Chains A and B, each alone.
Chain A
């Protein structure tokens, strides 16, 4: 059924989905402008981020060239490598506050970030040739695949990333069509486990939950971030204060305004209209990704791409919820806009996988 070609069969001309690519580029460029303002015109910082985005998009294109089959076959090895790196981080890791970073002398990177892609990939690969919806045996293995790296990441301690990794695996199961009663019983189990989780949480994590519930209880300590972030968003109004004009961020009242709280800068300077525009583009990216996923040619691609689209939504929702004070402060960046290399590269690599699935879809029907 495939046309004979001079190019080896597993390499194909990248047939990218240009609407999705355009939306990603749009968000990234807009992000650079917001970052320029948030960093008070720091050109070095913006250049750094532009380079990382460049690397990310190059990675996206490279991955889009490769057929999904390849990742399916590699997933076990990637998973094993990821686990090894996580273990190495636990032993040699260094970083600010939490031991998340592994210094490979050339690049410092977070192995846990890699697992955000590898875990759903492995679960999808595991379910690829199973009968769906998966049975108990398949489910049990999948849960094992998901929970093992989570435990190591929680130990680092990085609850946010652990939850993201876990969710990306769970989304695969959801898309694989696990039965509702299983979903609800897991949800019930999770709710029951919450008090146990509380007992295992670090004090700083508990404080985040406490201040989330009542930020005004500690307005200069942990509550400061939430209060100042809400002031930044609220004072932006409908039209915003204008680019580079946000007082909350420019005068450093808004904490972490180049990284986790950068949406506060956007909301303050571009107002509700800017926020709605950004959310629309994000919604388009998610919707388009789900659409592409449902047109993928095999189970692995479908499950993986669908899960990646959903996890992208989680980024947006958790970050947006955090800066508007409806979700606790968790260190999750605003995708493609927050300053920071690892998340940009991981996210764009994920879209590379989606593009790959789309590029290598079957042209029947």
Chain B
């Protein structure tokens, strides 16, 4: 086989091959070195950045929402809790997809079948269905998507029985906020609702990543930071599809703190009940520390409707109700204080030296300003005769205060009375507090750019005209009077309880501020006048002292909603309900050592302050000051009896 290479030169060919092979090897070596350098560049030089990218690929931080703190009243009665509820979820990838003529039905078709089955078992509104279908298109097939929240017991059991026929359908427990107190507590606790765009701008988003709800009104809103707690997180490893494979690191959330409110829910409910069908507001305060014992605004509404998204029909029903149930009257409602304002005017006059406790003024039933022919009338025709300040308060003599007001002047009146908190926020721990109006020359100039007229001083002195006060301001001011000038900021939050801790951290009351006392005799006269309102034969609210085992001091008031034309007679029975007068009553007891102050405002009352509002005060004072047995002993018809004497 060797011999025929007569032309080919084996040796030259071989060396040619070897030189080419060597060249090839050198080039290959160079190329592989370049490749190795490329690996070195990626794996050593750029390692840190790629390591970070690999971790970013696989590690996701999931926020775990903390459980929200509960709200209790001062006796441990629950006002807001987290109640287990059930939602129905569907996971697309687990849906049954039977074969129809050899081919699996589409996921969409399987979804339709499942929804049709579910509609036989639970209620699904078109909105819920629409929202669900949109969501399930957007998420990965292994993620459950919720179709319905807060299933009823019956729905849960109906779905549970049929579960074997409904693969991919899951009933998942979750916690939802629940307010067991009903309408009476709603304005106080407020409610949580879904976080909206407005909330997002304000809150610390990192702490709310997995939260859907936030306090919207009331204590829920004001104490959001305490109730919410601190979000936890878990670092999870996911694969390329986003499925969670394992938890790498975990920090448990810190549950929100439980709040103990100063509210006494029995008193709150008693106040709510006592208002009956009337709209209105009641605020009860412990004058010794500012604790708000009751704070009622009626009508209320069911806060639970708002928690998981209120339906449009429910919302418009509540929003458009004529008596405005969404409006927190106790906190924001502005009312003419009427005669309940007189004690403060009296003190202003006495302490400022305009009058003294013995100054007597003749009440003829009419009062004329100098050079003004129009009379300012009294509620009692013919007047009350000669009265001192004490009697003027007892009988609520308008003419006495007309004259006092006129002599005092609006600015002196304003400067003194503002020390009781009128015309400014009380500083209670709630958002949205009303300011009210305590008029003065400067105020009128600023508000209307008009001068002040003497006639306006006269009616301001009986708590009318421009005067506007919130029920809370009225209660707080009356408490200051009851405490001889010692004044506390009203507060709802009494104590805090950390999750899992047994002991409660009780918060100290605010520092008391003092209204200076010039002469204790002046205060005694005013307080005496108010005691006489309830306890003397001429007192306007004398009926509520019947059977009382403690002494009550109080002041009634009636303020017009509708200005009568001259000569027109007011008749509560015939006038339109919305135009009827508001009835007011402020009171404290025991008179000598006050433990509770109440301010009651009844809108569009059939009777005046003394006949409609005062009996409610008695109920509340009994409720707070007497034992349960004693309250029981006072027959329930005592109220009706007291009312019928009228």
Contact = CB atoms under 8 A, between A and B. Distances in A.
Whether A associates with B in a native complex is yes
A294 interface: yes
B8 A233 contact: no
The secondary structure that dominates the A interface is helix
Given A131-B8, A272-B40, A282 B32 contact: yes
A175 B17 contact: yes
B517 interface: no
B43 A234 contact: yes
B42 A283 contact: no
B25 A290 contact: yes
A317 interface: yes
B395 to A, nearest CB: 85
A235 B47 contact: yes
A233 B43 contact: yes
A294 B39 contact: no
B152 interface: no
Interface in B32-59: 32, 35-36, 38-40, 42-44, 46-47, 49-51, 53-55, 57-58
B20 A175 contact: yes
B21 to A, nearest CB: 5
A350 to B, nearest CB: 16
Interface residues of A, number: 50
Given A283-B32, A317-B32, A236 B57 contact: no
B31 A313 contact: yes
Nearest to B40: A272
A253 B240 CA distance: 5
Contact of B237 (A133, A251, A287, A303): A251
A139 interface: no
B635 interface: no
A247 B50 contact: no
A342 to B, nearest CB: 24
B53 A279 contact: no
B551 to A, nearest CB: 79
B453 to A, nearest CB: 76
Interface string A273-287: 001100100110011
A237 B58 contact: no
B54 A313 contact: no
B131 interface: no
Interface residues of B, number: 41
A323 to B, nearest CB: 9
Given A251-B58, A310-B24, A234 B42 contact: yes
Nearest to A130: B8
B57 A251 contact: yes
Interface in B74-113: none
A263 to B, nearest CB: 9
A293 B18 CA distance: 9
A105 interface: no
B17 A129 contact: no
A286 B28 contact: yes
B16 interface: yes
Contacts of B38: 320-321, 324, 326
Nearest to B35: A320
Contact of B39 (A174, A316, A324): A324
Contacts of A230: 42, 50
A302 B8 contact: no
